Chains A and B, each alone.
Chain A
């Protein structure tokens, strides 16, 4: 199993450009998450999904949109990139359960907005 994969690994955008980050998992997980990690601030939840076709806002959703058209994929979109969105983005997934299982993380996407 590949686990959780993310594409691309690196990207540089100019202010106002758009892009989509792709997350894929092959573990049949129900839940998927997008986080951003900034220096000294740990991980902050952007959006998450509890199943195919459903999404919900996390702690810092502004400026981002997501879609979960297929169970194995979770897309994060930036419609008009801003320098404040320079960060490392991590996707994660886990099983539905009580308590929820451990989250499995992708390797991250390093995004720079100039």
Chain B
């Protein structure tokens, strides 16, 4: 079963707007990561946030983590058409070994 579940499944916005994607998970984690996937390509790592961190920034990306609610959000500010991609959260649950579990992803479409 999937550990992380992204919401919404799909998001369409205009260039320049902010995009917010959410991820919920079920079990305790050590860290949570966000990845991006362009159509037909492999995933590319965006940012990692540890369980003892609440917020992290990287360029136009802002990630928050609320371990009490078992949820995380990814905010992309001032979106660009090039941000069009699928975004996945991945949790390191540590259950049974070093396995990172991916959610089903949010498809973001940024209209120029």
Contacts and interface: CB of A to CB of B under 8 A. Distances in A.
A18 interface: no
Which of B2, B42, B101, B103 gathers most chain A CB within 10 Å? B42
A111 interface: no
Interface residues of A, number: 26
Interface residues of B, number: 26
Contacts of A56: 97
Contacts of B99: 45, 48, 58
B45 A31 contact: no
B30 A105 contact: no
Nearest to B47: A102
Interface stretch (A36-44, A69-77, A79-87): A36-44
Given A56-B97, A100-B100, A103-B100, A42 B45 contact: no
B102 interface: yes
Interface in B1-21: 2, 9
B74 to A, nearest CB: 15
Contacts of A42: 2, 88, 102-105
A110 to B, nearest CB: 9
Interface of A: 4, 31, 33, 35, 40-45, 48, 50, 56, 58-59, 90, 92, 99-100, 102-108
